Structure 1
């Protein structure tokens, strides 16, 4: 059975989140995706799985030649690809080239939200917290972590089941 590389930039930065559905995931390091911008958004599609699961808008990347996105590079077994696609059902799989912190380049899979983004909107504090925990766990650059921290959230106070499950795993 083969493997594939996956570039995570949202909640799957956190090892425990990714491994819930994809147990073969092995962290390979951090990487930078040049020519894309990280943001939180809705789309003109029906509510995505991330939006429903996390009670707010979801992380997305869109083309922007003057920007870059930091994330974590994972190696997964091919047998985990269907579960990763199911987890990311509100996103289209795309192939991108990323560069690690030593300058090596890799062709890998990532996901981009389906439909046209309808503007910048707010994530739930729980979703943003998991992304930040993953960014710190992956040891993304401190300036990039501050960039994510600066996004406001929607102040959601209703329970977020996946968040509660992950917090239990982390304690």
Structure 2
């Protein structure tokens, strides 16, 4: 399809409600696997209240994610979301293997700072633990697109730093992603934090 490209998401952008923010329009293409790389977290994000995902070359490892088909006019917004001009992530192209359709050359974003290597039995430093919210958004994206169960379990076992970060944004995203919010006055102070039943949401998605 002309004027489109394939984008491989392996972090929060696996979740459809997240990827379609900020005037970005993406259509699901397939799930896919990036070989000889592992998932890690580095560089603190104030927005998420913890480090964000990146790809680290690692022999005999792999990362599962979601392939989106996007129009070329989304590249600028996607670059902005990934902080390309702020030199947080850089775009490149890699071959992604899909379960049934073969391999495709996909755009991917990788952090410019690489985490230091650690041994299989070494404890992951706390500064590389993602926030609770960021981890949950990644898992919801994995559940939504039915990534392999063993990989979802790997994501579940990632330690988090307990930070809520953009939790309020996430709740509002779930509520207003498809419908525009009303233009009525919004209180600047929220007496009680918004709460979301993650377990119930997961059960609903598994039933669907």
Call closer, same or farther: CA 1:169–1:134 in 2, change over 3 Å: farther
Q: Contact conserved, 2:24 with 2:78, CA < 8 A, in 1? A: no
1 CA distance for matches of 2:24 and 2:79?
14
Map 1:156-171; keep pairs closer than 5 Å.
156-157=163-164, 160-169=167-176
More helix by share: 1
Q: Which digits, 9 at most, give the CA deviation of each residue in 1:112-143, with x for residues without a partner?
A: 11123257511110010100000000110010
Q: Contact conserved, 2:133 with 2:165, CA < 8 A, in 1? A: no
Q: Contact conserved, 1:54 with 1:162, CA < 8 A, in 2? A: no
1 CA distance for matches of 2:3 and 2:22?
18
Q: Which digits, 9 at most, give the CA deviation of each residue in 1:45-94, with x for residues without a partner?
A: xx5xxx12100111111111210000000000000000001100121111
By how many angstroms is 1:26 displaced? 0.4
> If the length of structure 1 is used for normalisation, what is the TM-score?
0.88
By how many angstroms is 1:156 displaced? 1.5
Higher Cα radius of gyration: 2
Question: Is 1:28 equivalent to 2:29 in the alignment?
Answer: yes
Q: Contact conserved, 1:53 with 1:162, CA < 8 A, in 2? A: no
In structure 2, the partner of 1:63 is: 57
Relative contact order higher in (CA < 8 Å, ≥ 6 apart)? 1
2 CA distance for matches of 1:73 and 1:149?
21
By how many angstroms is 1:41 displaced? 2.0
Q: Contact conserved, 1:41 with 1:59, CA < 8 A, in 2? A: yes
Note the residue ranges of structure 2 that are not aligned, 5 or more in a row: 118-123, 178-200, 202-208
> If the length of structure 2 is used for normalisation, what is the TM-score?
0.73
Count the aligned residue pairs.
Answer: 164
1:134 to 138, 141, 144: 141
More strand by share: 1
2 CA distance for matches of 1:151 and 1:126?
13
Question: Is 1:80 equivalent to 2:78 in the alignment?
Answer: no
Cα RMSD (Å) of the superposition?
2.0
